[in-house]
A and B are shown apart, each in its own frame.
Chain A
């Protein structure tokens, strides 16, 4: 049962990943990408890691894809189609992709996977206490670093959005 589900999800991921890069209509590629991301969430559900699955849905499907769609709506007209790249570029990209696939496949096949007989699902409480623990194996430092980075990004966004107003204030001060 789970094996069948895995193959179905994997098939969806592969098909829509190819469709996402080969479609010449921008919004359609975004939707294909959405299907890929949702199927990845499905994989997480399959291995009983519900928390990560929900994160995948909220952050990628609900957040990033909505933002991408939003920007596409702003710049893209319904009749436009993306241009085909020049042959030379196509060949270079294909080579780069092949190298990438090669690297990933060799890593996967050289790694010695161990099957862990562990049926207990990881609860959100575990994730939370691990994130805030400062003992061995705790994640408090990366957690705090990411918070600071996000804060900086938010302040930066506000400064950019307010742009001219901030400059005016500074000019006044100089005068």
Chain B
């Protein structure tokens, strides 16, 4: 592949996903409104479709403010950590057989590695803005991400026992005989539930939004950010949510494979199936957000270390037993 080709692909990905991120924001607002028996944004464009575009334009044109004694270098650097890691991870997601930018042989591991760097941006942003609330938010986020990363990794590891490969294209290939959540039945379903809980926690969304708990911390780590830099944090949160859903789709629900292979002869429909499954999972995460009340910090850590982690460890043993005794359900 030539350099120009690589740059073009990168630009296309950037373009698609920054717009897709904006539409996820809109979706979130409409879903939130629906849960609260409101209408939500419905004036700009048809059914409010252009609302978040307008918001983005507004954010671009806003003044960038900062605190007096902030560490300017780190303060400006922090948003890029968050957004770049989120966008890098998108490169390995298989949207269809051919629509995958970077099919690396450590696929899932690469995703975990990249997502573990994103938290540095939050920690830096919170510290460098020289604000008590931002600092507390950042500390909480550090604790939270370090803990829940374990569960995300271990629940994916459970599924790796089934796929015998880390490469995402091969993981999809394995699922041609039935999606992994069916193939792995009981341990796979447990792993899926753990993954969704830990994934929601890793994206710092409610009910795990200790990082920016509005009633306690103002806006948490991004209290002092404005304009485009704030927009980066905001966009990254939504891209991360999409990523968690996309990983779950790939690992548990057969990525771009259609149910029972009904559209196997039309490969480009894979994008449709992939996005459909991902959006259903995204909706699930939004559902969590507007249903459950926020956890306290100690409850957050209890949930991870006393429940999710032991469940996960036992689950890996069960999965190993299932694979060893060949109790996999295949069509």
Contact = CB atoms under 8 A, between A and B. Distances in A.
Interface of B: 3, 69-71, 73-74, 77, 104-106, 109-110, 112-114, 116-117, 119-120, 123-124, 126-128, 130, 135, 138-139, 142, 145-146, 149, 164-166
Nearest to A48: B105
A103 B18 CA distance: 50
A156 B51 CA distance: 55
B105 A57 contact: no
A40 interface: no
B120 A69 contact: yes
Given A58-B112, A124-B105, A66 B69 contact: no
A26 to B, nearest CB: 10
Interface string A129-145: 00000000000000000
25 contacts: A1-B3, A27-B74, A27-B127, A28-B73, A34-B120, A50-B104, A50-B110, A51-B106, A55-B113, A57-B117, A58-B116, A61-B113, A61-B120, A66-B116, A66-B123, A73-B123, A73-B127, A73-B142, A78-B70, A78-B127, A78-B128, A121-B105, A123-B105, A124-B105, A125-B165
B120 A63 contact: no
Nearest to B153: A58
A31 interface: yes
Interface of A: 1, 25, 27-28, 31, 34, 38, 50-51, 54-55, 57-58, 61-63, 65-67, 69-70, 72-74, 78-79, 121, 123-125
B18 to A, nearest CB: 23
A28 B75 CA distance: 11
Which of A51, A57, A65, A123 has the largest count of B CB atoms less than 10 A from its CB?
Answer: A57
A124 B170 CA distance: 13
Nearest to A34: B120
Contact of B71 (A1, A27, A66, A125): A27
A78 B113 contact: no
Contacts of B165: 125
Contacts of B69: 78-79
A158 B51 CA distance: 51
B274 to A, nearest CB: 24
A53 to B, nearest CB: 8
Contacts of B71: 25, 27-28, 78
Contacts of A28: 71, 73-74
Given A58-B116, A78-B69, A51 B124 contact: no
A124 to B, nearest CB: 5
Contact of B124 (A27, A55, A63): A27
